[in-house]
Amino acid sequence: MDSVTFRIFRFDPETEDSPRYQDYEYELEPGVTLLNSLNTIRSKQDATIAYRMSCGSAICGSCAMRANGHAVLACKTQTSELVKDGVIQIDPLGNMKVIHDLVVDLEPFWGSLRKVKPYLQPDTTNNPELEREQTQEQFLLIDDVTTCILCGACFSDCNALEVDENFLGPATLAKAHRFIYDSRDSKTEERLEDISELHGVWDCTHCAECSTRCPTETKPLARIEEIREAAMKAGVHGNNGARHVLGFRETVGKSGRLNENYLPPRSVGFFNIPGLLGLLPVGIRMLMRGKNPPLIHHSIDKVDEVKKIFSRFEEYRK
Amino acid sequence: MYSHDVLIIGSGLAGLRAALELVGHLDVGVMTKVYPSRSHSGAAQGGVAASLGNVDGDSLEAHIYDTVKGADYIGDQDSIEILCADAPRTIVEMEHFGCAFSRTDENKIAQRAFGGHSFKRACYSADRTGHALLHTLFEQSMKRGGELQVYSEWYMLRLIINDGVCKGVVAMNTKTGKLEVFHARAVLFGTGGYGRAFAITSNAYANTGDGIVAAYRAGVPLQDMEFVQFHPTGLYQHGILLSEAARGEGGYLLNGEEERFMKRYAPSKMELGPRDIVSRSEQTEINEGRGAGPNKDYVYLDLRHLGKEKIMERLPQIYHLAKDFIGVDAIKDPVPIQPTAHYSMGGIPTDNDCQVISNETGDHVTGFFAAGECSCVSVHGANRLGTNSLLEALVFGRRAGKKLFEVTPEIGWSKVNEKEELSAVRLEIDRILHTKATENLGEIRTELQNTMTNQVGVYRTGEDMEAANEKIKELQDRFTRVKVENKGKNFNTNLIEALELSHMLEYSELIVAGGLAREESRGAHFRNDFPKRDDDKWMKHTLAFRKEDGGYELKYRPVRVTRYQPEERKY
Amino acid sequence: MSLKYALFTGCVAKGAGRELLTSTNIVCDKLGIELVEMTDAACCGAGVVSEDNAMIADIVNARTFALAEEAGLDIMNICITCQGVHRKCQVKLARDPKYMARVNEALRETTGHEYKGTVKIKHFGNIMLNDYGLDKLKEAVVKPLDTIKAGAFYGCYAMRPHEYSDLAEPDDPDEMERIIEAVGATPVDYSARLKCCGFPIIMMNKKNSLTLSGNAISSAKDAGSDCVITQCPLCHLNMDAYQPEIDSSLNMPIIHIQQLIGLALGISQDELKMNTHIIRPTGAIAAV
């Protein structure tokens, strides 16, 4: 059996000034999970290490933490897959304050969820006596996103949340998706409008950390993309993000290429004076270096093929 | 001191459902040692039973009969009638709340077969039914936002009952270590099961019987503790549940010789026999040398013949569990499984409105209620049918809420001696923290769990249980010298583990006591030295009372029979 | 063995990032890699078109793949966003034959092309490492950049989601660092090298976008980098063109990986169009 060094983040703000790492030597048994390993270390070497756990079977979401800098769900991660040069570094989740060792303050996470009306809002004017009908296909539209166990791994590693604590974050956006795509919900348009506002779905930077860390089928980035698709289809276009998409549609659909001189003003809004003024500095800087995109925008060769594809736009919409 | 009209301990299906019934009408607080969406209700996989009859000719009568028979005839039949009768309404209500159910071709809630049920009545959401239901109630609780006070990561340590009147609890805020008295006119426990006393269990680390022990220490008897259900398909070595739905969808059980051995034990139902029978069948195969693997200590759940598409659509979670936890691809290979301690039929005795009973004659404790797995109504008797537990939590959680709504306004605010109550808990904690410490906490716990699994498990004997009894006493003594290195206040998991262990040591004794006294085999309780069911002597409920000196006393209560007289239980 | 690729330029290399196309062409020419520019290939969609209409984006990208197949060439991408979007589309089609059939049907109906599923799509960095080979690259180096400490910035789509990444270890890659070493420079390890530059939200939330870029640059600077090396022109835009608005004291030159290689091959800064960068090459870079 190999010996592995567990380098565990330790911090008790009650008694310590600053965090430290403590090393534990551990005999790696085949097939053990990270949670098994931590429990063994805690039971045999140091009972003071604090971390959350409950079900041990990847359904309660308690045991998310960072291994080698990236969020994982401890109970379903094989310890052997985490070893790097004989060491595994364990840290608390990111984007949340540390309470004690690997236990973080989840209040921002729960608080974010509550912002998107995370409950079904059916049409109550006709409450059927039996179950509301739904096809299996409609059920499958929300099947993946309902696997979310609210573990916080996505929230932890989200790049956008790192710089903006008001961003709704991937789990909350996924939760919003679950109701936007539920055929039994009657407030879809309202939800799409709310989610398109500042700090909402258009603030996601696509870094894909969330989907990469997600231990279930939820894969928040895919849900975020689906919300945007739904918002575009529903005509919720009064924001920079949606106008940015329209700008792509308009220039790529017309010339096969993005018109970079057109896109920024289209995104901020042609009549949005402060927005347009905000674009000036970078425009001028680039102009001075000769870096600005050529004023005459050329189409690609055989652009008619692309135009033909785009002419089928509505036909191929979800 | 905090105060609420109604304080609910436990934020699983029972606790949350009761809270939703009361919110807006009474001042309700819900307390949980985790967070609501982390409650163990979420781990239930296979389905929730109701005689909706969406796919076959099911009936209320059939559901009642199956449950009475499944309970091996010590379920209280009037309670079972209530459970089954309220089932269809309950499912429809959950769907109206927004629960996502798998659907039939007619767009109705899909139902599938399940062990011990004679019709397809398990309503399901892929193989994550508990998760879907729990999150639905959690969403509804968020809808009520400011009206519902939720105390997450607060650990209830003491139930306050003076002169037959429940007054509240003492709880620790785990983030600060501070002890507080919660004063209430009524308290509802939805604190779940007690499977963590066993080494191989599907139960969460949090399921350490804190609620039942608090009630027991406060003078409430515990009922039918000896009946612990061993689920047949626990993932080898982990004990993680692989849903019965796998068998409901057509999975096979194979021994080391790749034989479908259930033909010898339940020839007509085969893999869909009830859990106690299937678990014992597996254990027999293992004990008689026909187990699989290098140590022949497990059997197989075989899904290969179902094909990739069916597995990924109907049983995705099982596929991922086998893959992630033991590296087995269920599409290509059979999955190693063993019986796992899964459900606690025993618990706090209540009447059909969830009011807690204080003695064998059925008197009530004023203002104390219990619902869900921690309670014993009893709807499951000696063995629970799968899909009936999610149902019980929802049905009786709502009933508890309704009864609380009715009676709480009439319960006055009785005086509570805050200082005394806090001291009692403070004393226990100080004793644990500052005693002369020589014993390793993990070792005591492991020894308890191994003892319970090996000697109070699927097959029991008087000899084994006597030995287990002695061992538990030894462990209880060693516990008085347990080492708790972390003396801090801030999220002290070390202290919490010690307190949980003290609870496990206390209720394990009652499991053994009930099992030793009960000289018969019934449901999940099987004794090699008394292999037959004895209705003349043992068709009754066990009640364990705590004595002043810390020991226990067993008394008995009759079973309520309304429809079906006991028959031989064959499948 | 001579290497030849269909060059998918991406939109930015034809517009605000023309120095990327110029330096790619010069460097490949010097190394003997033949490039055929795909002048008839359309924008990859950048993950934005797919948020409007996923199938349209897939059809347009399938067309690009088909064009390369018809030319009998594999695709070289010089933008990590294009690479990520292309691979995502390719994997999606490969996994779902029914959907691929639908996409091909639409493609045939509108354009007559058909995507066979054979083309390989690689980013320039991958080609340097695996097709061209670092040993060969080292031999071609005439001016080892041994005074330069370079911080590699991978760009999100190079790494995530893992299933579309070419990197051996997407959570802890060293491919860019190995290229940096091959040209004689010293790679600098810094905490933000796997983070997001924020470009995708520059129009939606400029503050957040630039804070992300600023954090990345500061992290590289604190670790001792003279410059940040990018493999995506969008990362380059955000970190270079907007740098004065982030923090004018940062003064961190942002350099395309092609330009770094070009300098080591003896090509001048002028030829590599480094004079169009907003942030002037300073310090160790200026001396090269």
pLDDT, residue C178, reads: 98
Q: A116 and A94 share a domain?
A: no
- Residue C154 sits at φ, ψ, to 5 deg, of -75, -40
In the residue annotation, B17 being an active-site residue is answered as: no
CA-to-CA dists, residue C117 to A191, B535, C5, C69, angstroms: 39, 71, 17, 9
Q: What is the mean pLDDT of each run of 10 residues along chain B (571 residues)?
A: 97 98 97 98 94 96 97 97 98 97 96 93 94 98 93 98 97 97 98 96 97 98 97 91 88 95 92 89 92 93 95 89 87 95 97 97 96 97 96 98 97 95 97 93 96 94 97 97 94 97 98 98 96 96 94 96 91 81
Q: C19 and C66 share a domain?
A: yes
User: How many other CB atoms are found less than 10 A from the CB of residue B545?
Assistant: 18
Q: C274 and C205 share a domain?
A: yes
Q: Letter for the amino acid at A41?
A: I
pLDDT, residue B517, reads: 98
- C71 to chain A: which residues are within 8 Å by CB? none
pLDDT, residue B501, reads: 98
- B92 to chain A: which residues are within 8 Å by CB? 129-131
Q: C165 and C45 share a domain?
A: no
Torsion angle of the four alpha carbons C213, C216, C221, C227, in this order, in degrees rounded to the nearest 10? -70
Question: In sequence order, what DSSP letters do the residues of B354-393 get, joined into one string?
Answer: -EEE-STT-PEEEEEEE-GGGEESSSSTTSPPTTHHHHHH
Among B29, B31, B27, smallest CA distance to B39 is for: B31
Judge whether C235 and C176 are in contact, CB under 8 Å: no
Q: With respect to residue C128, please indicate whether it lies within any of the assigned structural domains.
A: no
Of C16, C51, C106, the CB nearest to A316: C106
Length of chain C: 288
- Measure the CA–CA gap between B109 and B83, rounded to whole angstroms: 19
* Domain of residue C103, CATH code: 1.20.1050.140
Which structural domain range is residue A288 located in? 240-317
Among A95, A222, A117, A102, smallest CA distance to A166 is for: A95
Q: A290 and A183 share a domain?
A: no
Domain end residue (candidates: A69, A104, A139): A104
Touch between B and A (at least 3 CB pairs under 8 Å): yes
Distance of CA C216 to the CA centre of its chain: 17
Q: C147 and C206 share a domain?
A: yes
Q: With respect to residue C231, please indicate whether it lies within any of the assigned structural domains.
A: yes
Q: A286 and A208 share a domain?
A: no
Interchain proximity A309–C19, CB inside 8 Å:
no
Using the Cβ of B438 and the Cβ atoms of chain A, whether some distance falls under 8 Å is answered with no
Among C191, C165, C167, C163, smallest CA distance to C179 is for: C167
- A122 to chain B: which residues are within 8 Å by CB? 96, 98
Residues contacting C268, CB < 8 A, separation 6+ = none
Interchain proximity C15–A281, CB inside 8 Å:
no
How do residues B402-427 score in pLDDT, each as one tens digit? 999 999 999 999 999 999 999 999 99
Which chains share 3+ C-beta pairs under 8 angstroms with B? A
Using the Cβ of B321 and the Cβ atoms of chain A, whether some distance falls under 8 Å is answered with yes
Q: With respect to residue C159, please indicate whether it lies within any of the assigned structural domains.
A: yes
Torsion angle of the four alpha carbons A292, A296, A299, A304, in this order, in degrees rounded to the nearest 10? 150
Q: With respect to residue C89, please indicate whether it lies within any of the assigned structural domains.
A: yes
Judge whether B404 and B25 are in contact, CB under 8 Å: no
Interchain proximity C60–A69, CB inside 8 Å:
no
Question: In sequence order, what DSSP letters do the residues of B461-473 get, joined into one string?
Answer: -HHHHHHHHHHHH
Judge whether B32 and B11 are in contact, CB under 8 Å: yes
- Measure the CA–CA gap between B267 and B381, rounded to whole angstroms: 24
Judge whether C122 and C74 are in contact, CB under 8 Å: yes
Percent of chain C with pLDDT over 90: 96
The pair of structure tokens assigned to B332 is: 């290509």
- A126 to chain B: which residues are within 8 Å by CB? none
SS3 assignment, position A114: helix
How do residues C149-201 score in pLDDT, each as one tens digit? 999 999 999 999 999 999 999 999 999 999 999 999 999 999 999 999 999 99
pLDDT, residue B377, reads: 96
* DSSP label at residue A267: H
- Measure the CA–CA gap between B518 and B537, rounded to whole angstroms: 9
Q: C58 and C118 share a domain?
A: yes
ipTM attached to this prediction: 0.96
What is the tally of structural domains in chain A?
A: 3
How do residues A2-49 score in pLDDT, each as one tens digit? 899 999 999 999 999 999 999 999 999 888 899 999 999 999 999 999
- Measure the CA–CA gap between A10 and C157, rounded to whole angstroms: 33
3-state secondary structure A200-219: CHHHCCCCCHHHHHCCCCCC
Q: With respect to residue C127, please indicate whether it lies within any of the assigned structural domains.
A: no
Question: Mind telling me how many Å the CA of C9 is from chain A's nearest CA?
Answer: 11
Q: A134 and A73 share a domain?
A: no
- C63 to chain A: which residues are within 8 Å by CB? 305-306, 309
Domain end residue (candidates: A180, A198, A233): A233
Residues contacting B460, CB < 8 A, separation 6+ = B515, B525, B526, B527, B528
Question: Mind telling me how many Å the CA of A148 is from chain C's nearest CA?
Answer: 18
Interchain proximity A248–C106, CB inside 8 Å:
no
* Strands across the sheet containing B252-254: B228-235, B335-344, B299-302, B252-254
- B139 to chain A: which residues are within 8 Å by CB? 118-120
Which structural domain range is residue C236 located in? 139-286
Length of chain A: 318
SS3 assignment, position A26: strand
Beta C3-8 vs B364-370: how paired, if at all?
A: unpaired
Domain end residue (candidates: C62, C88, C122): C122
Domain end residue (candidates: A104, A122, A144): A104
pLDDT, residue B274, reads: 84
Q: With respect to residue C24, please indicate whether it lies within any of the assigned structural domains.
A: yes
Among C264, C254, C15, C66, smallest CA distance to C146 is for: C264
Question: In sequence order, what DSSP letters do the residues of A59-101 get, joined into one string?
Answer: SS-TTEEEETTEEEEGGGSBGGGG-BTTEEEEE--SSS-EEET
Q: With respect to residue C129, please indicate whether it lies within any of the assigned structural domains.
A: no
Q: Is the pLDDT of residue C37 over 80?
A: yes
Q: A125 and A222 share a domain?
A: yes
Q: A113 and A221 share a domain?
A: yes
Mean pLDDT calculated for residue range C244-259: 95
CA-to-CA dists, residue A20 to A23, A98, B431, angstroms: 10, 13, 31
Nearest CA in chain A to B94: A131
Domain end residue (candidates: C90, C122, C154): C122
Nearest CA in chain C to A281: C245
Beta strands in B321-363 (DSSP E): 335-344, 348-349, 355-357
What is the reported pTM? 0.95
Judge whether A156 and A108 are in contact, CB under 8 Å: no
Interchain proximity C242–A282, CB inside 8 Å:
yes
- Residue C269 sits at φ, ψ, to 5 deg, of -60, -35
Q: C97 and C30 share a domain?
A: yes
Interchain proximity B205–A56, CB inside 8 Å:
yes
The pair of structure tokens assigned to B299 is: 């059997």
Q: Is the pLDDT of residue C1 over 80?
A: no
Q: A197 and A264 share a domain?
A: no
Interchain proximity C43–A256, CB inside 8 Å:
yes
Residue pairs between chains A and C whose CB atoms are closer than 8 Å: 200
Q: A81 and A167 share a domain?
A: no
* Domain of residue A76, CATH code: 3.10.20.30
Using the Cβ of C118 and the Cβ atoms of chain A, whether some distance falls under 8 Å is answered with no
Using the Cβ of A180 and the Cβ atoms of chain C, whether some distance falls under 8 Å is answered with no
Using the Cβ of B104 and the Cβ atoms of chain A, whether some distance falls under 8 Å is answered with yes
Interface list for A 188-227 with C (CB within 8 A): 198, 202-209, 211-212, 221, 225
Judge whether C3 and C127 are in contact, CB under 8 Å: yes
Percent of chain B with pLDDT over 90: 90
Interchain proximity C49–A293, CB inside 8 Å:
no
The pair of structure tokens assigned to C3 is: 């290497």
Q: A96 and A112 share a domain?
A: no
Question: Mind telling me how many Å the CA of A292 is from chain B's nearest CA?
Answer: 50
What is the tally of structural domains in chain C?
A: 2
Q: A120 and A228 share a domain?
A: yes
- Measure the CA–CA gap between A267 and C209, rounded to whole angstroms: 15
Q: Letter for the amino acid at C26?
A: I
Report how many helices (DSSP H) and strands (DSSP E) chain A contains, helices first: 13, 7
Q: With respect to residue C97, please indicate whether it lies within any of the assigned structural domains.
A: yes
Judge whether C179 and C263 are in contact, CB under 8 Å: no
- Measure the CA–CA gap between B487 and B509, rounded to whole angstroms: 28
Q: A114 and A223 share a domain?
A: yes
Q: How confident is the model at residue C132 (pLDDT cuts 50, 70, 90)?
A: very high
Q: C276 and C161 share a domain?
A: yes
Tokens 């603030």 sit on residue: A203
Q: Letter for the amino acid at A149?
A: I
Domain end residue (candidates: C122, C149, C166): C122
- Measure the CA–CA gap between B48 and B99, rounded to whole angstroms: 12
Nearest CA in chain B to A139: B102
Q: C19 and C81 share a domain?
A: yes
Q: C18 and C152 share a domain?
A: no
* DSSP label at residue B241: B
Interchain proximity A131–B96, CB inside 8 Å:
yes
User: How many other CB atoms are found less than 10 A from the CB of residue A40?
Assistant: 17
Task: Give me the tens of pLDDT residue by residue for chain A, a chain 318 residues long.
Answer: 789 999 999 999 999 999 999 999 999 988 889 999 999 999 999 999 999 999 999 999 999 999 999 999 999 999 999 999 999 999 999 999 999 999 999 999 999 999 999 999 999 887 899 999 999 999 999 999 999 999 999 999 999 999 999 999 999 999 999 999 999 999 999 999 999 998 999 999 999 999 999 999 999 999 999 999 999 999 999 999 999 999 999 999 999 999 999 999 999 999 999 999 999 999 999 999 999 999 999 999 999 999 999 999 998 887
How do residues A206-249 score in pLDDT, each as one tens digit? 999 999 999 999 999 999 999 999 999 999 999 999 999 999 99
Using the Cβ of C53 and the Cβ atoms of chain A, whether some distance falls under 8 Å is answered with yes
- Measure the CA–CA gap between A192 and A228, rounded to whole angstroms: 8
User: How many other CB atoms are found less than 10 A from the CB of residue A87?
Assistant: 13
Touch between C and A (at least 3 CB pairs under 8 Å): yes
Question: Mind telling me how many Å the CA of A44 is from chain C's nearest CA?
Answer: 31
* Domain of residue C176, CATH code: 3.40.50.11810
Q: A199 and A100 share a domain?
A: no
Using the Cβ of C1 and the Cβ atoms of chain A, whether some distance falls under 8 Å is answered with no
Among B165, B127, B149, B158, smallest CA distance to B48 is for: B127
The partner residues of B160 in beta bridges, in order of sequence, read B168
Q: Is the pLDDT of residue C20 over 70?
A: yes
Interchain proximity B142–A51, CB inside 8 Å:
no
Q: Is the torsion defined by CA of B347, B350, B355, B356 positive or negative?
A: negative
DSSP3 helix / strand / coil % (chain A, rounded to 5): 45, 10, 45
**With 0-12 CB in 10 A as exposed, 13-18 as middle and 19+ as buried, what is B405?**
middle
Q: C118 and C143 share a domain?
A: no
Catalytic residue among B275, B460, B518, B527: B275
- Measure the CA–CA gap between A105 and A107, rounded to whole angstroms: 6
* DSSP label at residue C42: P
- Measure the CA–CA gap between C28 and C35, rounded to whole angstroms: 8
Q: Letter for the amino acid at A180?
A: I
3-state secondary structure B479-535: HCCECCCCCCCCCCHHHHHHHHHHHHHHHHHHHHHHHHHCCCCECCECECCECCCCH
Judge whether B272 and B279 are in contact, CB under 8 Å: no
CA-to-CA dists, residue B249 to A139, A246, B279, angstroms: 19, 47, 18
